[in-house]
Chain A
């Protein structure tokens, strides 16, 4: 158990719809990362929060994507006007301590866009 929950675990949506995912670290983590993993590939970095501040966004994060971390605890990732290419596993990974300290991955949200 990594102490990280993600909701929903699975999401099927039609192209063009908006979806929102949530990540809840159980304990206090000042840093939180989002990654995306497609089939047969390693996870790719999407965005990074330190407390409530979003400090880095990947170029993978188009303007259809937005992420928030109000109060520096849970985080949400929203995708607007979903496309079939958005189908992937979305992973969050909280961390605490030095910047290269271990990131503990949540179970992920699997998104399927029809």
Chain B
């Protein structure tokens, strides 16, 4: 079945460090890929998305490129801030006959950024 695997956390970085959170997926169809973020005490928010191979999603300095050949959608940011401390979820949804577009999430990666 379809699945998403994220690197285990927590990830602890100093402010202004480079961030990579790995995400790989398995899908029977052609998925759209998403990164959602959950800040402390808040709900899930869409961070970025990509709907086809080689697309790059970007938002708030974060980027992720849809790599079909490696079935990956790694999240990157060049310089993290303390305010980026949150839990990050990679997710996919599959379109096509019989699919309802439900999201399949990874287990989440906690990022802690220290001043």
In the bound complex, what is the Cα–Cα distance between A104 and B4 (angstroms)?
20
A40 CB → nearest B CB, Å: 7
Give chain B's interface secondary structure class: strand
In the bound complex, what is the Cα–Cα distance between A22 and B85 (angstroms)?
30
User: Range of interface residues on chain B?
Assistant: 20 to 34
Q: Are A99 and B100 in contact (CB under 8 A)?
A: yes
Interface centre among B44, B51, B100, B101 (most CB of A within 10 A): B44
Give chain A's interface secondary structure class: loop
Take A31-B101, A45-B102 as given contacts and tell me if A100 and B93 are in contact as well, using a CB distance cutoff of 8 Å.
yes
Take A91-B44, A107-B43 as given contacts and tell me if A42 and B102 are in contact as well, using a CB distance cutoff of 8 Å.
no
Question: In chain B, what residue has the closest Cβ to A43?
Answer: B105
Chain A count of residues within 8 A CB distance of the other chain: 28
Q: Are B95 and A43 in contact (CB under 8 A)?
A: no
Using CB atoms and an 8 Å cutoff, list the residues of chain B in contact with chain A.
Answer: 4, 31-32, 34, 36, 42-46, 49, 51, 89, 91, 93-95, 99-108
